[in-house]
């Protein structure tokens, strides 16, 4: 039943396209133009905003090293 299989495949492609579009919309919504850290407030590059960035590079790397440190201690 080739017609049936074509229909299924087309449907799968539509669903994937919808998911990608929804993800793109979400990313645009969550991206910030200034750092979410209120003590910082540094401007975020628009390339990072487009990727959904919440923190400036300094705060992001500080947050990541803090998280890595916390994970290391949590292992004890």
Smallest separation (angstroms) from Zn ion to the CB of 26 = 22
Taking the CA atoms of 51, 57, 63 and 67 in sequence, report the sign of the dihedral they define. positive
13 touches Zn ion by CB under 5 A: no
44 touches Zn ion by CB under 5 A: no
Q: Which of 40, 43, 50, 67 binds Zn ion (CB under 5 A)?
A: 40
Binding site for Zn ion (CB under 5 A): 35, 37, 40, 42, 56, 59
């Amino acid at each position: 039943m080739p017609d049936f299989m074509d229909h299924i495949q087309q449907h799968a492609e539509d669903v994937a396209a919808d998911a990608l579009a929804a993800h793109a919309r979400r990313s645009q919504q969550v991206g910030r133009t200034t750092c979410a850290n209120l003590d910082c407030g540094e401007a975020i590059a628009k390339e990072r905003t487009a990727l959904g960035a919440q923190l400036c590079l300094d705060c992001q790397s500080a947050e990541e090293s803090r998280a890595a440190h916390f994970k290391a201690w949590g292992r004890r």
